[in-house]
Amino acid sequence: MDNEFQIYNTMTKQKEVFKPKEPGKVGMYVCGVTSYDFSHIGHARAYVAFDVLYRYLRHLGYEVTYVRNFTDVDDKIIRRANELGEDPLHLSSRFCDEFLVDMNDLQCEPPTHQPRVSDHMDQIRDLISKIIDNGCAYTLEGDVYFSVDKFPNYGRLSGRKLEDNRAGERVAVDSRKRNPADFALWKAAKPDEPSWESPWGPGRPGWHIECSAMSAHYLTFSFDIHGGGMDLVFPHHENEIAQSCAACSESNVSHWMHNGFVTENNEKMSKSLGNFFTIREITKQYHPLALRIFLMSTHYRSPVNYSILQLEIASDAIFYIYQTLHDCEEALSPFREGSLKDERKPNAKPDRIASATQDCINKLRSDFQTKMSDDLHTPEILNGALQEALRFINNSMNTLKKKQQASAVQSLISLVEEVKKVLTILGLQPSSTYSEVLQQLKDKALKRAGLTEEDVLRLIEERTQARKNKDFSKSDQIREDLAVKGIALMDVGKETIWRPRVPVAQEQHEVPPST
């Protein structure tokens, strides 16, 4: 490997060379969603970021065990279920399934394991028992609390001092606790709530203990990467560290990784603040891969500011990528069975790749390795070497017909294959054909514009007729009106075609256009 893979470790506050505990293998745990509603784009940010990490680790040759949990037992789930008159476990299961649909749309590959809290009560009870036996937890009328005073290193991940800590989200204020910062490992059963038997009486687990139990079950107490959103540093991950170390003195996670928030008007987007958009709301109007590339266009540790304009730019970017590759496939198709036919014979030697093309391939390969190995700098790849390679492909297609020789064709094929490798690792290589995804992108653009394909074709015909009548004012007005709606007209020879474009004078709206 030319470049050592470095990732930023929240624990040490610096980038470190990644070295797995076991050569060739990686254990990775990422905190999943609390399943009581449709997931928002803050969730998409996290799971796209860790999907890129998952893909890149495998590209580097590692065998990765990737665990991402579902919290399907929680106060928020119970409240929502009571509001809807639905069984809490049934509601959470329903939204787990909806989450998986969103992840599939965003081309996030399924983790190795996707455990649910309700299926791991034995592991949770066993872990709590170990913590109690080690003197780091106490019981109160059926509740079990972790005693932070028993863990001197409490706060080392977040940098907080114990005396400065206040009860965080999901940390109940309870005057019975020995220290206000103590947090629940087990909650005594309440009427009309799901509960499980335990040595301390019927109840259900606290939020933090579940991830410690499931990560240990699938990866042991000592593994390589633990990830999640920046909002989980405290209290969730801080409490996980305390619990796991209290249960097992050899507990150790090598690298803690956290992605930045999605913001709107520079304020964190979240369900608790009520300023969020669900993934479904966005993908009704924009292709899921436009959302994916939007999220990857900012470094995973930085906040990404949501706006309609940025989604339009991302949609335009993904259309350009697929249009270039589609056009290239069309340009190469006459040559694949012709010029390259002899090269497919067992003893035939393929023509040498043109030096300029090889330089482009080498630069894409080198820049991709360098930027990805530097803490997954996807924006620099998307805006740098990948764009250069796409421009090179477009320029090569323009000269292909003039050359008509196997070396030019083979050079272009080799470059396209390199581009596809990069897109695959980034999760941007579509599962359908380029033609199909381009049509999907056009359909979304028409929906945002409030037009049908027939409307656009009719306007194109009106413009063509106006030009024939030398009514250039009307012709220009039709083009401008469509441009404002995100529809660009292009005259190709005697034909006029259209494609989506960022709307002229696009303003940043607070909400997606209505369906």
Q: What pLDDT digit, counting tens, does each position of 477-505 carry?
A: 999 999 999 999 999 988 999 999 999 87
238-247 and 207-219 helices cross at what angle (nearest 10)?
A: 60
In tens, the pLDDT along 139-188 reads: 999 999 999 999 999 999 999 876 655 544 455 567 789 999 999 999 99
Looking at 118-122, 154-158, 310-314, 346-350, which range is the least confident one? 346-350
- Tell me the C-alpha distance between 459 and 488, whole Å: 12
Q: Which helix (H) or strand (E) holds 44?
A: helix 41-59
Q: In what order do the strands lie in the sheet with 25-30?
A: 63-68, 25-30, 222-229, 252-259
In this prediction, residue 401 carries a pLDDT of 66
**Alpha carbon of 206 to those of 71, 93, 189: distances in Å?**
11, 19, 12
Work out the average pLDDT over 468-477: 97
Q: According to the model, what pLDDT value does residue 344 have?
A: 42
Q: How far apart are CA 345 and CA 341, in angstroms?
A: 7
CATH architecture of 21-135+151-156+206-284: 3-Layer(aba) Sandwich (3.40)
Q: Which residues contact 443 (CB under 8 A, 6 or more apart)?
A: none
Residue 349 clears pLDDT 50, i.e. is over it: no
Q: Which residue has the tokens 């405290």?
A: 234
Q: Answer yes or no: is pLDDT of 293 > 60.
A: yes
Q: What is the pLDDT of residues 374-427, one digit of tens each?
A: 999 999 999 999 999 999 999 998 777 665 566 788 899 999 999 999 999 999
Q: Where are the domains of the chain?
A: 21-135+151-156+206-284, 315-426, 437-500
* pLDDT tens, position by position, 234-284: 999 999 999 999 999 999 999 999 999 999 877 777 767 777 899 999 999
Average pLDDT, the chain: 92
Rounded Cα–Cα distance for residues 161 and 390 (Å): 51
Could you read off the pLDDT of 158-169 as tens digits, one per residue?
998 766 555 444
In order, the DSSP letters of 67-113 are EE-BB-SSHHHHHHHHHHT--HHHHHHHHHHHHHHHHHHTTPPPPSB
Banded pLDDT at 335 (limits 50, 70, 90): confident
Is the predicted pLDDT of residue 348 greater than 90, yes or no? no
Reported as a pLDDT band with limits 50, 70 and 90, residue 342 is very low
